[in-house]
Structures are given as C-alpha cells and as structure tokens.
Amino acid sequence: MQEVYLYIKGRGEITVVLDHSLGGVEGYFLIDEIAKLTRVCICDRPGYGWSEPSGKSRCSEAIIAEWDLLLTEANIE
C-alpha cells in the first residue's frame, strides 16, 4: 500500500472517522472539537494532501479496503 497520511487526536472508546471530500482541509477544522469528546481520525486520500498517489481505482470497494487496512495498522477497531 502507498503511504497515506493519517491524523489521530483525542481519546475514547469510540473513534470518529472523517472521510472528507477530495483532500480538502474542511475536515481538519472539525478535529479539535470532536477530540474533546472522543478519538477522531482523518486521512488524506491517496493522491491528495500528504498522501502518495495510488494507481488503484477510486471505487467504493477500494476506498473501504484502504480504510480497513489503514485503521488496522493504526490499531483502531
């Protein structure tokens, strides 16, 4: 898997996952407020922000598989 930027903040039993648009910054404006309540994570989709590009299709199945792998590697259930 290519390098994908993942940012995690806060603590809690529940993790809020922000899958924001196409690499825009709007999702990052929510993190501080959500992190006051629980753990929150957001990533830059492949090819956007600090993440490397991906040669894979951007279909729903690919995106779900990427999130699954990313969260597993970050030890987030």
pLDDT, one tens digit per residue, over 1-55 is: 567 788 899 999 999 998 765 556 677 788 899 999 999 998 877 777 777 777 7
| Token pair 């956007």 in the structure block, residue | 48
pLDDT, one tens digit per residue, over 15-24 is: 999 876 555 6
Q: What pTM value is reported for the model? A: 0.75
Cα–Cα distance between 9 and 60 in angstroms, integer?
26
* Proportion of the chain in helix, strand, coil states, percent, rounded to 5: 30, 15, 55
Nearest Cα to Cα of residue 2 among 59, 61, 43, 60: 43
Cα–Cα distance between 76 and 39 in angstroms, integer?
10
31, 17 contact by CB (below 8 A)? no
